[in-house]
Structure 1
């Protein structure tokens, strides 16, 4: 009898320990059946992150709308650029057209100086020695240009005296109505080194055009002193000058 009670007591103790262990695990005596629902619950919880991802896609859609706004803004900028381009192009074109019109108008009011619109005089001077001064006065109603140098011809001479290159001005001599231009004429060498000297009684002045040696229009025949003018092979002229002193300084 004592042995059976001891065995019964040991068995009861072991059963109690097992029960306590199960309670501590939180599963009780259901060891296999309880584990399956727990796994199902974990699997069912997975769609929640997917829902969060869907929200992120919605945000992406909102971002996609931004290019439409930017495109509208760009269109506005293009309109502004078009306006500026139109204004600049219009202004520049208008200005250029106006300048061209002004140039055309200026060319219409300027002509070549020649014997038809000027008065020409020829006067020997005391200084420099053996020089003569040509004076051309604009008698017309338009500004005229005295180009290059006078083409001087005494009597029936067959050659044309050349112009001193160092007397060429920086710009064409231009005469407004009533203004005068000048040229100097070296008649003969002061030291007597010239040859073929003779006295002329007639002088013809020809004018050049806008290219060298071209025809500038009507010639002039200014009067010479009654005793005539002596010249030799040293005969030379200056370019047309705006100032009398420049014409006689050579």
Structure 2
């Protein structure tokens, strides 16, 4: 009986030891799971300096759309010349013949600028260029393909002597005022419906303008008639 009791006791101790080991293993496994950090909620991070948009540093060179003269230097500011333009002349139906409209149309595929006012003469009859009238418009007359710009001529006062002319001579300026003044002007035949013009000694021309109404206002409301 002593042997049997010892065997049972040994068996009981063995079972208890196994159970203790299993419990210890389970506790160790659960403890590891509890100690492992869970996925934390995502918090937006503060933008880094590299990701934050910043204003470009100021350039030492002038802006591509401005010059010291205050005119645009971007695409399309090359001065127009005879090779870029078709010129038409016309008069107003109810006018007394004291005014002439010059319409310049760009027939190329690139923009160009009609700077200041046209140089105007009247063939061999009257030397040019005649003086400008009015003030320069706020915007320069840059015209793209098929676009138009206008200049108006005041030809004579009602009481002064005139000379009949059959052609108008036109020249073009560059960026600088009064540039190309020594260049020869090209004669432009008058439209058939005009025939000839009466020109006095005080003939003047407006600045180029893309706004026809502005040219008309200057011609007919300036007190020249």
Q: TM-score range by the shorter chain?
A: 0.5 to 0.7
- For 2:137 and 2:86, the matched residues in 1 are separated by 22
TM-aligned CA deviation for residue 241 of structure 1: 1.1
TM-aligned CA deviation for residue 221 of structure 1: 3.1
Count the aligned residue pairs: 160
Counterpart position of 1:120: 87
2:202 counterpart of 1:229: no
User: Does the CA-based 8 Å contact 2:105-2:147 persist in structure 1?
Assistant: yes
Question: Kindly tell me: are residues 224 and 243 of structure 1, through their superposed partners in 2, closer, same or farther at Cα, counting changes over 3 Å?
Answer: same
Moved over 4 A (4+): 95-103, 216-220
- For 2:178 and 2:199, the matched residues in 1 are separated by 23
Greater Cα radius of gyration, structure 1 or 2: 1
Segments of structure 1 that go 5 or more residues without pairing to the other structure are: 1-82
- For 2:172 and 2:61, the matched residues in 1 are separated by 33
CA RMSD of aligned residues (A): 3.3
- Name the structure with the higher strand share: 2
Counterpart position of 2:176: 211
Matches within 5 A, 1:1-250: 92-93=56-57, 96=59, 107-129=74-96, 130-156=98-124, 157-166=126-135, 168-190=136-158, 192=159, 194-195=160-161, 197-215=162-180, 219-225=185-191, 227-249=195-217, 250=219
TM-score (norm 1): 0.54
TM-aligned CA deviation for residue 108 of structure 1: 4.8
TM-aligned CA deviation for residue 107 of structure 1: 3.5
- For 1:110 and 1:181, the matched residues in 2 are separated by 14
**Matched position secondary structure for 1:248:** helix
